[in-house]
């Protein structure tokens, strides 16, 4: 799977972002993201992203993912960006799914699009 950062950038392998330090590492992910953003800002003022978020471990760390999503969400808001984070539903525990719904205002599945009833924004 690949992540689309912009039509102006080539496709970026999501493992380069999410697994560069062996597993999900918020600081590394955001550093890569900021480097790409600096290139894009010179070409385009409106940035839209789509990312397929993955981790190497069987059971993702809910607290780590919550830290990442919260930090990334604040970053996206500060930069005035539109960003979509995609997760494979079969890789989400009930706890992780609820956590993501608390962190994201809008939820889209293969069949539905709705406002999260758990959003804490």
Q: How far apart are CA 85 and CA 41, in angstroms?
A: 20
Is there a domain that residue 95 lies in? no
Structurally, how many domains does the chain consist of? 1
pLDDT surpasses 50 at 5? no
Is there a domain that residue 115 lies in? no
pTM, two decimals, is 0.62
3-state secondary structure labels for all residues of the chain: CEEECCCCCCCEEHHHHHCCCCCCCHHHHHHHHHHHHHHHHCCCCCCEEEEECCCCCCCCCHHHHHHHHHHHHHHHHHHCCEEEEECCHHHCCHHHHHHHHHHCCEEECCCCEEECCCCCC
Is there a domain that residue 31 lies in? yes
pLDDT surpasses 90 at 68? no
Containing structural domain, residue 57: 2-87
Residues 61-72: what's their mean pLDDT? 80
Q: Give the model confidence (pLDDT) of 45-65 as tens digits.
A: 677 777 777 766 667 778 888
Is there a domain that residue 14 lies in? yes
Higher pLDDT, 23 or 96: 96
Is there a domain that residue 48 lies in? yes
**Per-residue pLDDT, 61:** 77
Q: 28: number of CA atoms within 13 Å, CB side?
A: 13
Is there a domain that residue 71 lies in? yes
Is there a domain that residue 97 lies in? no
Is there a domain that residue 50 lies in? yes
């Amino acid at each position: 799977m690949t992540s689309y950062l912009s039509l102006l950038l080539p496709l970026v392998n999501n493992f380069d972002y999410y697994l560069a330090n062996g597993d999900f590492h918020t600081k590394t992910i955001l550093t890569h993201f900021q480097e790409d953003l600096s290139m894009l800002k010179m070409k385009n003022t409106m940035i839209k992203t789509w990312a397929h978020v993955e981790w190497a471990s069987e059971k993702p760390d809910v607290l780590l993912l919550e830290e990442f999503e919260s930090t990334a969400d604040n970053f996206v808001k500060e930069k005035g960006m539109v960003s979509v984070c995609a997760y494979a539903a079969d890789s989400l525990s009930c706890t992780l799914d609820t956590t993501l719904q608390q962190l994201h205002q809008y939820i889209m599945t293969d069949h539905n699009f709705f406002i999260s009833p758990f959003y804490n924004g």
